[in-house]
Amino acid sequence: MSKRILVTGATGTVGSELARLLVTAGCDIRAATRSPEKAERLFRSEVDVVELDYRRASTFDAAVDGAEGIFLQAPPFDPDARETLVPLLDWAVQAGVGNVVMMTAMGVEVRDDLPIRRLEKHVESLGVAFTLLRPNFHMQHFAGGFLGERIRRTGAFSMPVGDARVSIVDGRDVAEVAAACLLSDEHDGKEFTLTGPEALTHQEIAETISGVIDAPVAYESVSDEEMLARLTSTGWRPEIAGVVIALYQSVRGGVRAPVTGDVAQVLGRAPAAFSDFAARNTDSWLSVVGQNP
């Protein structure tokens, strides 16, 4: 019988890739989103879509009904991640979900004060099988979202991280690891820190993008104050922008530099390098060289 799995954040970087991988593996998937029309456009009829909003308990029943496993992730930069996700988690376990694979973030295990670490501890206490995935920043960050847009529009990006190194990871590798953890009980109770194969500076990231699109891409290091002002002036709520700045501070502290062997341990192959990711995603930056104004 095919395994029924609820994939949260199914319109996002990792969730969308994971939903497709699980369908290919023969699972019965529910792809959860607050906007079913958006997900139906994304998946066409490949995947069953269900409406789910972590903040609306009225959406929980239909999402968790009959699910054996769940892939869980907090909304990006959520300063209240524990309060946001515990109601759904408890509901799911009560409804019979026996396996939780949760994506948090690299380095949270040493920060007991963070809501996301307290959420991990809640998962550990539920009495069901679980795996914790802690990825570094996804490479997709530089191709989509506010950074990708900035590079496309201006051929430059700024971050308050100086020449600190980051072992960024391909979100596709994170999805593949999540699929492996949902499809087998081999990884139950384990924690994986998921990184790419090398730690790069943002200057090196800019040079790599520049190399694949054959046009200049500049990286500028700015102060926390400057970054905070830029984020809030473009509509970021101050408490969310604060979470972003704290993340950058952890980058400067070297927390995001180590390279681990965890992707290779689960997948039996090396993680993708940023140069491969960039070559595969050249279209994302094309407006830099004027092809996509």
Ligand X SMILES: NC(=O)c1ccc[n+]([C@@H]2O[C@H](COP(=O)([O-])OP(=O)(O)OC[C@H]3O[C@@H](n4cnc5c(N)ncnc54)[C@H](OP(=O)(O)O)[C@@H]3O)[C@@H](O)[C@H]2O)c1
Closer residue to ligand X in complex, CB, 122/215: 122
Q: Return the number of other C-beta atoms located less than 10 Å from residue 179's C-beta.
A: 25
| Binding residues with ligand X: total (CB under 6 A) | 26
Distance CA 288, CA 275 (A): 18
**36-43 vs 13-24: helix crossing angle, rounded to 10:** 50
Query: Where in 96-135 is the site for ligand X (CB under 6 A)?
Result: 103, 105, 135
The answer to whether 173 and 272 are in contact (CB under 8 A) is yes
Nearest residue to 259 (alpha-carbon basis) of 249, 248, 270, 269: 270
Which of 40, 68, 75, 259 binds ligand X (CB under 6 A)? It is: 75
74 binds ligand X, rule: CB under 6 A: yes
Please give the residues from 51 up to 70 whose contact with ligand X meets the rule CB under 6 A.
52-55
Binders of ligand X in range 27-56 (CB under 6 A): 33-35, 38, 52-55
Q: Does 137 bind ligand X (CB under 6 A)?
A: yes
Close Cβ partners of 117 (under 8 Å, ≥ 6 residues apart) = 104, 108, 109, 111
**Distance in Å, CB of 8 to ligand X, minimum:** 6
Which residue number, 27 or 103, has a Cβ lying nearer to ligand X?
103
Select 228 or 244, whichever has its Cβ closest to ligand X: 244
Binding piece for ligand X, criterion CB under 6 A, among 72-80, 146-154, 249-257, 278-286: 72-80
* 95 or 216: CB nearest ligand X: 95
Element holding 282 (H helix, E strand): none
Tokens of 47: 């995947």
Least separation in angstroms between CB 166 and ligand X: 10
263 sits near ligand X (criterion: CB under 6 A):
no
* Positions 189 through 218 that interact with ligand X (CB under 6 A): none
Nearer to ligand X, 38 or 41 (CB): 38
Residues 6+ apart with CB under 8 A from 3: 27, 28, 68, 69, 182, 183
Quick one: 18 or 288, whose CB is closer to ligand X?
18
Nearer to ligand X, 8 or 131 (CB): 8
Q: What's the token pair of residue 287?
A: 């407006």
Burial of 9 (0-12, 13-18, 19+ CB in 10 A): buried
**According to the binding rule CB under 6 A, does residue 153 interact with ligand X?**
no
Query: If binding is defined by CB under 6 A, does position 9 make contact with ligand X?
Result: yes
Q: Does 239 bind ligand X (CB under 6 A)?
A: no
User: If binding is defined by CB under 6 A, does position 12 make contact with ligand X?
Assistant: yes
Q: What is the DSSP track for 231-270?
A: HHHTT--HHHHHHHHHHHHHHHTTTT----SHHHHHHSSP
Closest residue to ligand X, judged by C-beta, is 12
Residue with tokens 């992707």: 263
Calpha distance 161→250 (Å, rounded): 9
Give the residues lining the site for ligand X (CB under 6 A): 8-15, 33-35, 38, 52-55, 73-76, 103, 105, 135, 137-138, 141
